[in-house]
Chain A
């Protein structure tokens, strides 16, 4: 059924939160690139659309040395692509942002929207996860923070409760000597959803972080695998071993985009390639 909704554009955060709490079937509109598809295909029955673009709190986009990066809910993906600070400090995030959809969509789609949509195969979460991103949430009970790796609850499900919305996400400053890379496999060179996406990071202390998308109901941070790699010590041999071991840590499904077998193979290949590229930079 074609949605018939009320459009509301709040000017303060509390106005937005109150409205979202009060009204059933309310949907938040920022970039709208996911919401419009749901509406157009009649996949949701929206009664209220809350356009948050005017809220001053969500416009923030800044990197502060020693503190880190804040990305407000209104920040579109192309700003992350173009940001010199992100390029220098969070290369995996920059690469993931540049790989997301097409230029036109990146001009509209927001970084926060990409996590709130909670698609298992979204491009940005693996990179945000390896940087230990924290989600700043506003809600009827006040503000709270949720680490990103606890934010995803399932396919298209998040930790957000009724009346809550994400104001921004925050990434700690990785410091000097940090390296990262995001690699993805898609069906063609032009714009496509990732069949598998892997973010790999080597922290200044030499510890590894791995984030991966499209291999489970939610994007994953592979902490157990990271521990095993760190214990073995990073080397070419470890990389070869990890490329096989990763298959024990993910449970991809077969769907219209890819078979589980190919996703396992690509998780392995992309992890290997990512780690080797980072090691090469070190050498």
Chain B
């Protein structure tokens, strides 16, 4: 790991404080939903569909219901509730038909898990297996509909576009310029296809929820390992036809999410079971296997891209079609698909372009948000295509990118004009290319020479961009109160599920209030009855949005403190300053009061009080965003773009196909580092997770679309031993003028484009273009053995379910 020291110009912002929750977590004191037990709590188990698509002919629950200790047995006949954030398409329990291998068919709540599981094994279900929809091509044919009620499904109108009588949950579009003319006039037009499989989030704590639903009122209490307390509240209210205030959601510590715990998951099932069991609390937890085959994944994706360029390397035209294999449901998946229409040409200025992004139903495990939110997938297409174009043009890939990258004055795909406040993609690329010592592509002779040694080295790089994918009116809020000891306690509505939100926000408050970070108390525990609203903890937008809310709350707090202090010091608040926990008179600093002296109200020597307990708040709502035009995709989707680049050096063993990642350099224009340790952690974690997608991970299905690798035995993720030789983080700080201290988000970005950079380096090493992930040892060997220079899905039969 690189030891370059980061230094901040601020006293507290930018400093590498330890995470506030670190000690509690490493000593095992932190309490997670998994640990919780409530008085009288029941445990639930689910019966999952063994078929990708089947008609449920009958379910006999009598033996299960008769088992002592079983308190409730539910099937699809017991509830018609549909849930979903953007697309209300998911039944809590299958009714009539199952839609994927893992779809919940029935659930049993019992006194303990063992009894619940015995109850499940006593359920007698008769299925009639039906022909499944295996992949996006079969889905687009539309002979079989995964949801035959697609025309009636409730959805976010005007933002998502389900297609009538089809398997297309949403077809989002964007276009600009004159594409046909641009292709005609281009010196070179190149068309390619790229694909990648579904992958799992693999949080350490699997999905778990405890719900107590009063059968005699609308009251529902939820404890969950989740990213989105307020989204759960809203969706529960919508789906159960009750008021949001009837739902209370508690989020203790969360053991990882990566997007997989955004939106809503096991909570509605637990609520139905609790009601059926007379209101006893019911805990539903996913086993590790269920985490793979019942809970959602990152969608598989196929990108088809056609690019026109001039011979001196200017991109004039792009036509991209992204087909997302969202599996059985698209309640969240449609929003992933939507990102492709405004971000699907990458950080490049392209005047003529069209993008079609279809989120498609198949009979596979369904998809949801995943770190990078579609961008790892689209960038696998974009950045490999850019590399192939540079090969065909005979232009160095660095120079080719530099000619086309966005800079002030350029327009994004959705027509937003880039300014200096957006940061600089070029700075990022230049930094990483320099870091790996790029001097141009390897020649064929160099390749051949190295090949004889059995190991060939290659270098490659790739750009990335991402902005939060969220509704145009996304909002968050912060409440700040002062304790009697002059410390500040803050409440937020977002969840710190490992990304470091509470530490970063405490730092901003500490900077604003000029007090030690240790004096800022901020709990990661959320209770929707007490904490202020936050839309969803996703999208790398929390530091940006809640950071601004913290600044507002801090300034309000200072204003209130100065008002009280001015009265106590018999002066005008405008003459007062603050520093190190003290309010003082600018001209005569001896006229001063500590924060503590006014925390609960100032008391005169005779006992008279003024002021009262100090409390302040701050709200932040996305600034100037719009919905996109349904046909052209033009509009303002991006509260904050973060640009970045990765460059890698690898060594390929040409006999075994193993790729050794020697070095990864990662640069992000994050505007301002808030906490160097946290950013570094995000970069290392994201890069490693990206390497998982690049080299290793992927769902595999058989011909009947049953998941073949529903456990760690065959669904692997990188381990400690798979960490690359060197990860060099590079922080570029061109501030965003409306960001907190200029900061932008960086939570998801380190994962994006890692596969693209590796794929480009594999080309440098082998002279072979891979169009499919993962770049497993097997894929590399089969690719080499095929003798082809372009390796498609069908050349390395590693992903039978995808094609």
Contacts and interface: CB of A to CB of B under 8 A. Distances in A.
Given A1-B121, A2-B121, A258-B778, A193 B798 contact: no
A190 B656 contact: no
Contacts of B658: 185
Interface stretch (A9-17, A244-252, A261-269): A261-269
Nearest to B702: A256
Contact of A185 (B656, B718, B720): B656
A259 B721 contact: no
Contacts of A41: 289
B797 interface: yes
Interface centre among B114, B719, B778 (most CB of A within 10 A): B778
Interface stretch (B386-394, B708-716, B737-745): B708-716
A189 interface: yes
Nearest to A102: B719
Interface in A77-119: none
B777 A185 contact: yes
Contacts of B118: 1-2
Contacts of B656: 185, 266, 269
A193 B781 contact: no
B503 interface: no
B719 A191 contact: yes
A262 B780 CA distance: 10
Nearest to B696: A188
B114 A259 contact: no
Interface string B467-509: 0000000000000000000000000000000000000000000
A265 B121 contact: no
Contacts of A188: 695-696, 716, 718-719, 721-722
Contact of A187 (B114, B716, B782, B797): B716
A190 B289 contact: no
B782 A190 contact: no
Interface string A180-203: 000001011111110100000000
Interface string B772-803: 00001110011001000000000001100000
Interface string B749-789: 00000000000000000000000000011100110010000
A257 interface: yes
B709 A261 contact: no
B655 A269 contact: yes
**Residue among B716, B722, B785, B798 with the highest chain A CB neighbour number at 10 A:** B716
A9 to B, nearest CB: 22
Given A190-B721, A262-B781, A256 B714 contact: yes
B117 interface: yes
Nearest to A190: B719
B722 A187 contact: no
A256 B700 CA distance: 7
Where chain A touches its partner, the secondary structure class is loop
A216 to B, nearest CB: 19
Nearest to A268: B655
A189 B785 contact: no
Interface in B107-124: 114, 117-118, 121
A6 to B, nearest CB: 16
Interface in B346-394: none
Interface string B8-48: 00000000000000000000000000000000000000000
Contacts of B289: 41
B780 to A, nearest CB: 10
B39 to A, nearest CB: 26
B716 A265 contact: no
A1 B714 CA distance: 23
B720 to A, nearest CB: 7
B383 to A, nearest CB: 24
- Say which size band chain A's interface belongs to: 20 to 34
Contacts of B114: 2
B797 A265 contact: no
B714 A259 contact: no
A275 to B, nearest CB: 14
Contacts of B716: 187-188, 190, 192
Nearest to A1: B121
A259 B655 contact: no
Nearest to B707: A256
Contacts of A265: 655, 781, 785
Contacts of B121: 1-2, 42
A90 B767 CA distance: 42
B696 A2 contact: no
Contact of A190 (B117, B722, B778, B785): B722
B722 A259 contact: no
Interface string A145-176: 00000000000000000000000000000000
A40 B28 CA distance: 26
A277 B742 CA distance: 57
Contacts of A190: 716, 718-722
Contacts of A254: 797
Contacts of B655: 265, 269
A187 B717 CA distance: 10
Contacts of B700: 256
Contacts of A257: 714
A128 B118 CA distance: 41
A41 B48 CA distance: 13
A2 B118 CA distance: 6
Most buried by B among A42, A256, A266: A256
A281 B551 CA distance: 68
Contacts of A42: 121
Interface string B678-718: 00000000000000000110001000000011000110101
B709 A256 contact: yes
B117 A189 contact: no
Which of B117, B700, B708, B714 has the most chain A CB within a 10 Å cutoff? B714
A193 B715 CA distance: 12
Contact of A259 (B696, B720, B797): B797
Residue of B121, B656, B720 with most partner-chain A CB within 10 A? B656
A262 B778 contact: yes
A65 B117 CA distance: 53
Interface in B82-121: 114, 117-118, 121
A192 B722 CA distance: 12
Contacts of B778: 195, 258-259, 262
Nearest to A40: B287
Given A266-B656, A269-B655, A189 B722 contact: yes
- The residue among A189, A193, A259, A262 with the most chain B CB atoms within 10 A of its own CB is A262
Contacts of B777: 185, 187, 262
B108 to A, nearest CB: 12
B782 A189 contact: no
A189 B14 CA distance: 35
A190 B778 CA distance: 17
Contacts of A195: 778
A42 B720 CA distance: 31
Contacts of B798: 259
A252 B776 CA distance: 19
Nearest to A272: B655
A116 to B, nearest CB: 19
Given A1-B121, A192-B716, 20 more contacts: A2-B118, A2-B121, A41-B289, A185-B656, A187-B776, A188-B695, A188-B696, A188-B716, A189-B719, A190-B720, A190-B722, A191-B719, A256-B700, A256-B708, A257-B714, A259-B782, A261-B782, A265-B655, A265-B781, A269-B656
Closest 5 CB pairs of A and B: A190-B719, A189-B721, A262-B778, A256-B708, A1-B121
Interface of A: 1-2, 41-42, 185, 187-193, 195, 254, 256-259, 261-262, 265-266, 269
29 contacts: A1-B118, A2-B114, A2-B117, A2-B118, A185-B777, A187-B776, A188-B695, A188-B696, A188-B718, A188-B719, A188-B721, A190-B716, A190-B718, A190-B719, A190-B721, A190-B722, A192-B716, A193-B713, A195-B778, A256-B708, A256-B709, A257-B714, A259-B778, A259-B782, A259-B797, A261-B785, A262-B657, A262-B782, A269-B656
